[in-house]
Structure 1
Amino acid sequence: MARRLSFGWLKPPRTPPDGVMSLGDHLRELRYRVLFSLVWIVLGMIVIAVFYNQVYTFLAQPWLYARDILSQTNPELSTQMVLSGVTTPLSLALKICGVGGLVLASPIWLYQVWAYIVPALLAKEKRWALTFLSVALPLFLAGVTVGYLVLPQGISVLMSFTPESVPITNLIEIDKFLELMLQLMLVFGLGFLMPVVVVGANLVGVVKAAQLAKARTYVIFGCFVFGAAATPSTDPFSMLALALPMSLLFIAAEVICRFNDRRKARKAAAELAAP
């Protein structure tokens, strides 16, 4: 007798009303959410592969903008885009499809991350999941967009260091350029998610606004260090374009946490004063 194929092991365990789960249930929950996210990422990769030529042209636009800037600021500079290696076109296509699938599936995996981190929340507190997704997704996409927009200026800054005393042709490898661009977009997207993580930690009671205020100077300094270390283009313009928004977003997150702590304090005082 043929054995029936079952995919029940892929289903997540049921969360008890009190939110307490065993280690095995947590691991099964993690397996489910990782596999579910990977399926949607692969579907996003397939969509990018179908429209690969259009996506490729879109990703090449920052270089075209940077070339226009260079033609005005340094008209004597000679540049040429090249693609070297037999396997380079394939590896480049895989990288573009992978990052594109990650971006397209960001609403799915962002929600899965949140849903796994806060399984122990009460039902009335889980309403923050929708708020988390509605804020995290625009911030992530905004960071990706900023990374895309600042790249031309960063390229022009870096290319301006080419010496003019000797005739030199800058050979720009398109695969290295697009790899740099994809890394920059992902770094900006993830960097813009920092305030969501901070506010989420405050909502579940992990950190307080007073603690954030004490650490503000160190966090802002860390934002600039992160901006300098994480931006693959290494130019000061890209570093500031990442560090300044991250610092402002952290301050905004601190203000939100302060209002939330005051709301919790008023609610606790009202409950104590109630007969």
Structure 2
Amino acid sequence: MPRLPRRKSRDPQGRMALGDHLRELRNRVLVAAIAIVIAAVPGWIWYKDLLSILTAPMRSAGGRINYPNLTDPFTVQFSVALFVAFLLSSPVWLYQIWAFIVPGLTKKEKRTAIAFIFCAVPLFLSGCWLAYETLPKAVVILLGFTPEDASAMNIMPASDYLRFVTRFILAFGAAFLLPVFLVALNLAHVLSAELMLKGWRVAVIGLFFFAAIMTPTPDPWTMFSLALPMIGLYYLACGIAWLIDRRRAKDRPDWSQVSDDQASPL
């Protein structure tokens, strides 16, 4: 009987050739894409109820949506299904991102990284929930710029409104993943806690700048609602990275801390 080719064992240090990296990336992307397609089925089936939830802020502000083009009903339904798919499949595609990063870590650090996989999904969904809670105020502020003589004409194409809402919610969700990826960089020996704390001024300014770009309203409330949680999560990531660095320092042997001009205990 012909023997099947044996699967190539992983390097204990996580080293991979360029071709192996590309194949790994292809497989991860394929798994994430399949999960998104499967998760889009509930969004397609319960499209009307989900559309009612997403358009509630617009209706409460006195606005309406319409379908000016022939293909808009299909486009809107597809957009809602895809948006729901990203939310439902977030455990899968977030895990695939981590699984692509994990091979570059040691076995001990992999066990630590697994814990952060379970933190990423609640953080992402919490950001999406905060965005939906902030959305009604954002819609009211934006519609408030409508002239009084045209206030009765606040009718927006459904595709444009859904594009604004879904990007707004997903941007908040992605922003809440900041501590997960900061800790991932720390685990990969790219970013230390000391460096993160030294650059806190630049980080805070950058987070406010990011929040100002991602929140389309001119009021400071919407910007602060995104920037302040991100700053808190940034310092949380600094604390976790500090604990990881402290544990590494304890596990490091004494002879590795001797300078080059001194004799080591070995």
Which category of TM-score, normalised to the shorter sequence, fits these structures? 0.7 to 0.9
Question: What is the match of residue 231 of structure 1?
Answer: 215
Matches within 5 A, 1:7-18: 14-18=9-13
The Cα of 1:14 is off from its aligned counterpart by 4.5
Matches within 5 A, 1:119-268: 119-164=103-148, 166=149, 168-169=151-152, 170-233=154-217, 235-268=219-252
Contact 2:14 2:104 in 1 (8 A): yes
Counterpart AA for 2:49: Q
RMSD: 2.4
CA distance in 2, matches of 1:206, 1:117: 12
Matches within 5 A, 1:23-42: 23-42=18-37
CA distance in 1, matches of 2:178, 2:207: 10
Consecutive unaligned residues in structure 1, runs of 5 or more: 1-7, 68-78
The Cα of 1:154 is off from its aligned counterpart by 0.8
Per mean C-alpha deviation after superposition, the further-off stretch among 225-234 and 23-32 is 225-234
Task: State the secondary structure of the residue aligned to 2:146.
Answer: coil
Per mean C-alpha deviation after superposition, the further-off stretch among 152-161 and 35-44 is 152-161
Task: State the secondary structure of the residue aligned to 1:108.
Answer: helix
Counterpart AA for 2:19: G
The Cα of 1:145 is off from its aligned counterpart by 0.8
Counterpart AA for 2:57: P
Task: State the secondary structure of the residue aligned to 1:84.
Answer: coil
CA distance in 1, matches of 2:179, 2:69: 42
Counterpart AA for 2:106: L
Contact 2:65 2:161 in 1 (8 A): no
CA distance in 1, matches of 2:12, 2:189: 20
The Cα of 1:155 is off from its aligned counterpart by 1.0
CA distance in 1, matches of 2:14, 2:247: 24
Deviation sequence 1:128-167 (CA, Å, 0-9, x none): 3421211111000011111111000111112222333x35
CA distance in 1, matches of 2:12, 2:198: 37
The Cα of 1:217 is off from its aligned counterpart by 0.7
The Cα of 1:15 is off from its aligned counterpart by 2.2
Note closer, same or farther for the CA distance 1:83–1:269 as it changes in structure 2 (3 Å cut): same
Contact 2:32 2:93 in 1 (8 A): yes
Deviation sequence 1:230-257 (CA, Å, 0-9, x none): 2345553322211111111101111222
Using the aligned pairs only, state the percent identity. Answer: 36
Contact 2:105 2:187 in 1 (8 A): no
Counterpart AA for 1:241: S
CA distance in 1, matches of 2:8, 2:24: 6
Matches within 5 A, 1:110-125: 110-125=94-109
CA distance in 2, matches of 1:13, 1:105: 29
CA distance in 2, matches of 1:231, 1:14: 47
Task: State the secondary structure of the residue aligned to 1:172.
Answer: strand
The Cα of 1:56 is off from its aligned counterpart by 1.4
Alignment: residue pair count: 253
TM-score (norm 1): 0.83
Note closer, same or farther for the CA distance 1:59–1:80 as it changes in structure 2 (3 Å cut): closer
Question: What is the match of residue 53 of structure 1?
Answer: 48
Counterpart AA for 1:57: S
Contact 2:58 2:64 in 1 (8 A): no
Question: What is the match of residue 44 of structure 1?
Answer: 39
Task: State the secondary structure of the residue aligned to 2:55.
Answer: helix
